[in-house]
Amino acid sequence: MAFCHPFLFKMAWLVIITFVIVGTAQATTIPFNEDLYNIQRHIYNFEFERVKSELKSSSSSPTPYQIYLTDLHDIVSILIHEDEKKFEELKGRKDDRIKQLEQMEGKFSEYDLLLYRSEIHYHWAIAKLLFNQEGSSILDFNKSYSLISKAYALDSSRPEAKKLYGTYLVIFDKVPENYHWLMDLLGYKGNLKLGCDLISSAAQSENNYFSTEAQLTLMVMSERLNLSLPQTTALKSEDWLKNDSELETLITSILLTETRRSELALQCIPTSKFVNDINHYQYLIGVNMIRKGLYKESIAAFNRFSLHNRTERSKKYVQLFVHYAYLLDQDETNAKLALDKIPEIGNTKSSRDNYAQNEYENYKRPSLKLLSARFSYDGGYYDQSLSTLLNQNFPILIESIEAYYRMARNYEALKQESIMEKNYLVCIKLTDKSQVDNFFFAAKSSLELGKYYLSKNKNVKAKEYFSKAIAYKNHSYESAIEREAKTCLKKMSNNSN
């Protein structure tokens, strides 16, 4: 039950926000202006009323910068609150702003107009993706990429377009192999090294409006895509208290939660002055508290989240967490009430809510020991997770299989490879000798063993276990595990040629 926060998935790439200050009558760019840069800082500190006042008092004749900045204000305020009502109210303004920029042709440089139009399309593509408008989102992403490619081609030396263009190159490079045909059809070409180099260049440029956002982009990529980037040190050094803005604090809190560092997340979250105003923080607190074993505190945070949730999203999923927290807190009565509430609230538009609904419809009471161990592992409390699993009796076979799998995951995290290997092998052996109908644990164990043997140059064994991972069918993660195993096998084949 690895936690995957929706805000990060949809918003992580928002840190491509760019800033170019342009002239009012010439196709030239005004030099760096500290006063104007402060408006950007106010947005990143979620001071929206202040930004409105500053924008209102600025020139009555809008520049591309002002149009962009107004759009940035709207999109950040929508995303941090997941405010679907506000999204529906404001999404029509995207086309109005694009038209305004198109009508400025000849008054401002072509580079700047391409840049701002690309950014605005990108903003709303993210928002539409968040609110399940995938078709329209894809159109905006496509338009954004086309525009930023042209801007970069016009002047590859300027830092403004490097961040977004570089971001696209990295994203395209990481697209799963089974979608490469679509990438070829659309003409999208990824380039991981060039993309990272471009974003790094933007991050290191002096007196520009992009360095902070580019650094955040590198940090997100490093954590979410498992990239080894020397420029990304903020989380690696656990230097989260030095965050320069509320946006950086929020993103850091999410990343710490998603990368099994709950203890750090729980220390980072209170540093925000908006901890009681931004609902995402209550969600994060609830998740990290249940992982730490503080079940009453987890329930309280989840209830605060539900009380102030502005959409139908996440209602079922959060309620499932509340049910688990009550179970682990030995409160059977409230656990049942929480479970029975799942079909009555929210909808199943998101994958997480659909998962919660399926769990309700096919409900099997979980082993509390295994449930506790899963949450502890997700929070990075590996020793705590192992202490829950070791020397325990799991009389039900599938629970015993899961226990060996989860012990292996903990030992892997603790870099105790030989014990990890033994537990994965036992998980697979028990599965193959039984008639269980859940093959996920054996499939995932086989995949992890394949990667482990590959790292040790034991290619014959690696191929054996990658093939074994593919052979397990009819489990909930079949397509994902099969795709990753086949990708590894193909890379092995290419390297041997």
Higher pLDDT, 28 or 496: 496
Burial class (CB in 10 A: 0-12, 13-18, 19+), 154: middle
Residue that finishes a domain, picked among 320, 339, 361: 361
Residues 163 and 290 in one domain: no
Same domain, 26 and 118: yes
Average pLDDT over residues 74-99: 94
Instruction: Say if CB 17 and CB 220 are below 8 A apart.
Output: no
Distance CA 369, CA 371 (A): 5
Burial of residue 316 (CB within 10 Å: 0-12, 13-18, 19+) is buried
Residue 357 shares a structural domain with residue 380: no
Q: Is the pLDDT of residue 56 over 60?
A: yes
pLDDT of residue 441: 96
Boundary residue ending a domain (334, 361, 388): 361
Residue 370 lies in a domain: no
pLDDT of residue 244: 78
- Asked if the structure places residue 368 within a domain, the reply is no
> Do residues 111 and 154 make contact, with C-beta atoms less than 8 angstroms apart?
yes
Percentage with pLDDT > 70 across the chain: 88
Query: What is the model's pLDDT at position 229?
Result: 60
The CB-based long-range contact list for 176-185 (8 Å cut-off, 24+ gap) reads 176/483, 176/487, 177/483, 177/486, 177/487, 177/490, 178/483
Token digits for 59?
Answer: 């020139």
- Is 133 inside any structural domain? yes
Q: Is it the case that residue 228 has pLDDT exceeding 80?
A: no
Sign of CA dihedral 461, 467, 471, 477: positive
Question: In this model, does residue 25 exceed pLDDT 60?
Answer: no
Q: Which CATH number do you get for residue 335?
A: 1.25.40
pLDDT digits (tens, 9 = 90+) for 456-488: 999 999 999 999 999 998 888 898 999 999 989
First-to-last C-alpha distance (Å) of the chain: 39
User: Other CB atoms closer than 10 Å to residue 62's CB: what's the count?
Assistant: 18
Q: Buried (b) or exposed (e) across 72-104, using 16+ Cβ within 10 A? A: bbbbbbbbbbbbbeebeebbeebeebbebbeeb
Extract the tokens encoding 310. 């502005």
Q: Are 5 and 283 in contact (CB under 8 A)?
A: yes
Residue 363 phi/psi, 5-degree rounding, is -65, 130
* Domain co-membership, 381 together with 349: no
How many CA atoms, within 13 angstroms, populate the side-chain half-sphere of residue 130?
31
Q: Clarify whether residues 468 and 334 are in a common domain.
A: no
Which amino acid makes up residue 93?
R
Q: Say whether both 132 and 85 belong to one domain.
A: yes
Answer yes or no: do 26 and 79 share one domain: yes
Q: What is the rounded average pLDDT for all residues in the chain?
A: 87
Are residues 106 and 55 part of one domain? yes
- 31: DSSP letter: P
How many structural domains does the chain have? Answer: 3
pLDDT at position 206 over 80: no
Residues with Cβ within 8 Å of 301's Cβ and at least 6 positions away in sequence, in order, are: 282, 283, 285, 286, 289
- Alpha-carbon distance 20 to 66, whole Å? 10
Whether 258 is covered by a domain: the verdict is no
On the question of pLDDT at 33 being above 80, the answer is: no
Q: Do 380 and 355 have their domain in common?
A: no
- Which of 162-176, 230-244, 368-382, 422-436 has the highest average model confidence (pLDDT)? 368-382
Q: Give the model's pLDDT for residue 212.
A: 77
Q: Check: CB of residue 158 under 8 Å from CB of residue 187.
A: no
Q: Give me the pLDDT at residue 497, please.
A: 66
- Whole-angstrom Cα distance, residue 273 to residue 282? 13
> Is there a contact between 446 and 472 (Cβ–Cβ < 8 Å)?
yes
What is the rounded distance in angstroms from the CA atom of residue 185 to the CA atom of residue 400? 47
Read off the pTM.
Answer: 0.87
CATH of the domain at 409: 1.25.40.10
Residues 193 and 45 in one domain: yes
Does a structural domain hold residue 105? Answer: yes
Examine the domain organization and report whether 55 and 203 are in the same domain: yes
Mean pLDDT along residues 254-267? 94
Q: Look at residue 246 and tell me if it is in a domain.
A: no
Q: What is the extent of the structural domain holding 459?
A: 375-496
Co-location of 58 and 179 in the same domain: yes
> CA 128, CA 167: separation in Å to the nearest integer?
19
Burial grade of 263 (CB within 10 A; 0-12, 13-18, 19 or more): middle
pLDDT at residue number 66 = 86
Residue from 46, 35, 1, 41 nearest 273 by CA: 46
- Could you give the CA distance from residue 87 to residue 422 in angstroms, rounded to a whole number? 51
pLDDT digits (tens, 9 = 90+) for 173-200: 988 777 778 788 888 899 999 999 999 9
User: Is 355 exposed, middle or buried, given 0-12, 13-18 or 19+ CB atoms closer than 10 A?
Assistant: middle
User: For position 321, what pLDDT does the model report?
Assistant: 98
In a domain, 383, yes or no: yes
Mean pLDDT, residues 435-442: 85
How much is the pLDDT for 239? 56
Of 361, 395, 426, which residue sits at a domain end? 361
Angle at the Cα of 436 from the Cα atoms of 431 and 442, rounded to 5 degrees: 35
User: Residue 350's pLDDT is what?
Assistant: 87
Residue 94 has what pLDDT? 97
- The answer as to whether 82 is a domain residue is yes
Is the pLDDT assigned to residue 156 strictly greater than 50?
yes
Confidence of residue 110 (pLDDT cuts 50, 70, 90): very high
| Burial class of 436 by CB neighbour count within 10 A (0 to 12, 13 to 18, 19+) | middle
Q: Could you give the CA distance from residue 470 to residue 468 in angstroms, rounded to a whole number? A: 5
Residue 367 clears pLDDT 70, i.e. is over it? yes
CB 165 within 8 A of CB 198: yes
pLDDT at residue 320, as a whole number: 98
